[in-house]
Structure 1
């Protein structure tokens, strides 16, 4: 991954992930968070696991981000963009909104 690609991914991630590490950590502890998303095979949803990685990324300094972090940031950006395109009529309290929040994006902000 080139420096320009990393710069672009970081900028998109920073724009789309609109929850702080502490907000996301609190959200991931909620029942609503645990009840949405596709099971990753171990009882925890893919989005929930992603949220945990996002917290780690948000807690790191930009200079300390690994190639794995950038790859995950790219995945997060892609997910949020695709998922936002499927916006339902009713957002508040929807599984759609809860799923996005697992990925660090609060659609009601």
Structure 2
């Protein structure tokens, strides 16, 4: 982590990118839609949890912790989340996105584009 800002910029960007509350994200991660999207390590045939779904669980943990308790690894994941949300938002499809895999994938990463 760049210690120049003591993580302030990363923390701010993360809390701006993640617009779902921990309970809301936890409930979402239990849905079939949440489990249908995302890239799986080893391919979908390998089963298991998608990268985004796993990230969602990490995000819940990060949101529930005090800022002073965050590690360099936590800040690294926060930057990964910010990057993912920014890249994905730039690819917004046209039309109503409410029931799209694009939105569901973003929600796994803690961002609901309809908020």
TM-score bucket of the superposed structures, by smaller chain? over 0.9
Secondary structure at the counterpart of residue 14 of structure 1? helix
Aligned residues: 109
Q: 68, 92, 99: which one pairs with 1:93?
A: 99
Q: 38, 45, 65: which one pairs with 2:70?
A: 65
Q: CA RMSD in A?
A: 1.1
Please list every run of 5 or more consecutive structure 2 residues that lacks an aligned counterpart in the other structure. none
Q: Could you tell me how far apart the structure 2 residues matched to 1:98 and 1:53 are?
A: 17
For residue 5 of structure 1, report the CA deviation from its aligned partner. Answer: 5.6
Residue 37 of structure 1 is matched in structure 2 by 38
Do structure 1's residue 103 and structure 2's residue 109 form an aligned pair?
yes
Greater Cα radius of gyration, structure 1 or 2: 2
Secondary structure at the counterpart of residue 57 of structure 1? helix
For residue 40 of structure 1, report the CA deviation from its aligned partner. Answer: 2.3
Output one character per residue of 1:16-54: Cα deviation in whole Å (capped at 9) or x when no partner: 100011000000000000000011235210000000000
Output one character per residue of 1:62-102: Cα deviation in whole Å (capped at 9) or x when no partner: 11111111000000000000000000113110000000000
TM-score by length of 2: 0.91
Q: Could you tell me how far apart the structure 1 residues matched to 2:4 and 2:62 are?
A: 17
Q: Could you tell me how far apart the structure 2 residues matched to 1:106 and 1:5 are?
A: 28
Instruction: List structure 1 segments (4+ residues) > 6 angstroms apart after TM superposition.
Output: none
Cα 1:39–1:107 shift into 2, 3 Å: same
Please list every run of 5 or more consecutive structure 1 residues that lacks an aligned counterpart in the other structure. none
